[in-house]
């Protein structure tokens, strides 16, 4: 089992890119699906970006901003972003690819992350974990002070913006029938 989990962690980005290429190839976006998908892509991208501005990785436990709502705001943002891509793709293949990829990788990643943080931050992690949901955000008022653009840049979150814009551009070209298959 340990080898399987190590493989998942090692190849998640590569498998994700392959899945994305297949999804884009099979996508049949319409103006409506692209509009709705764009809304979700943007929401997921911003949720991830908001979270990235609070992560001082391996130095302190992020508990403010989106981390007060969920212990996994980056993974939740990925989920919303992925739903947006699937909606924009406008067919069952898009949803199937997204769901299989997400369910294959992210539950394992969340479990590993929780164990790592529990080990590193001990009681501080336990206290924080009791006050936040594991995945879906709690609806409550949050202290948004503390967002740090240098953390956002250090965590290279701008790459999600670039990939998202590329995906939307490909979908737009497909809607305009400038490309039929990627």
**pLDDT tens readout for residues 13-41:** 898 999 999 999 999 999 999 999 999 99
* pLDDT score recorded for residue 127: 93
Percent of the chain with pLDDT over 70: 96
Instruction: Give the predicted TM-score (pTM) of the model.
Output: 0.90
Cα–Cα distance for residue pair 52/148, rounded to 1 Å: 8
Residue 180 in any domain: the answer is: no
Sign, CA dihedral 67-69-72-74, equals negative
Asked, for residue 97, whether it belongs to a domain, the answer is: yes
Q: Domain residues for 155?
A: 2-175
Model confidence pLDDT, tens digit, residues 66-119: 999 999 999 999 999 999 999 999 999 999 999 999 998 899 889 888 999 999
- Report the C-alpha gap between 178 and 182 in whole angstroms: 10
For 45-72, what is the mean pLDDT?
Answer: 93
Give domain status of residue 95, yes or no: yes
CB contact set of 87 (below 8 Å; sequence gap of 6+): 33, 36, 37, 40, 94
| pLDDT at residue 180, as a whole number | 64
Q: Give me the number of domains the chain comprises.
A: 1
User: According to the model, what pLDDT value does residue 182 have?
Assistant: 47
What is the rounded distance in angstroms from the CA atom of residue 79 to the CA atom of residue 83? Answer: 6
**Of the given ranges (134-138, 140-144, 153-157), which has the lowest mean pLDDT?**
140-144
Asked whether residue 182 is assigned to any structural domain, the reply reads no
pLDDT at 177: 85
Task: Judge whether 181 lies within some domain.
Answer: no
Q: Mind listing the pLDDT tens digit for each residue in 101-116?
A: 999 889 988 988 899 9
Q: What is the pLDDT of residue 2?
A: 67
Residue 171 included in any domain:
yes
Is residue 38 one of the residues assigned to a domain?
Answer: yes
Instruction: Answer with the residue of higher pLDDT: 85 or 2.
Output: 85
CATH of the domain at 170: 1.20.120
pLDDT at 181 over 70: no
Q: Would residue 67 count as lying in a domain?
A: yes
């Amino acid at each position: 089992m340990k080898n399987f989990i190590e493989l998942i962690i090692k190849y998640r980005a590569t498998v994700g890119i392959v899945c994305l290429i297949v999804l884009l190839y099979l996508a049949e976006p319409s103006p409506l699906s692209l509009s709705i998908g764009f809304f979700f892509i943007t929401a997921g991208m911003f949720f991830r970006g908001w979270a990235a501005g609070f992560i001082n990785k391996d130095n302190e436990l992020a508990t403010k901003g989106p981390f007060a709502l969920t212990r996994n705001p980056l993974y939740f943002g990925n989920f919303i972003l992925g739903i947006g891509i699937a909606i924009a793709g406008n067919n069952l293949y898009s949803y199937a690819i997204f769901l299989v990829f997400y369910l294959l990788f992210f539950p394992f990643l969340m479990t590993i992350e929780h164990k790592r943080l529990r080990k590193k931050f001990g009681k501080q992690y336990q206290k924080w974990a009791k006050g936040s949901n594991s995945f879906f955000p709690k609806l409550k008022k949050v202290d948004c002070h503390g967002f740090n653009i240098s953390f956002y840049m250090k965590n290279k979150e701008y790459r999600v913006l670039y990939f998202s814009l590329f995906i939307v551009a490909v979908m737009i070209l497909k809607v305009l029938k400038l490309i039929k298959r990627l």
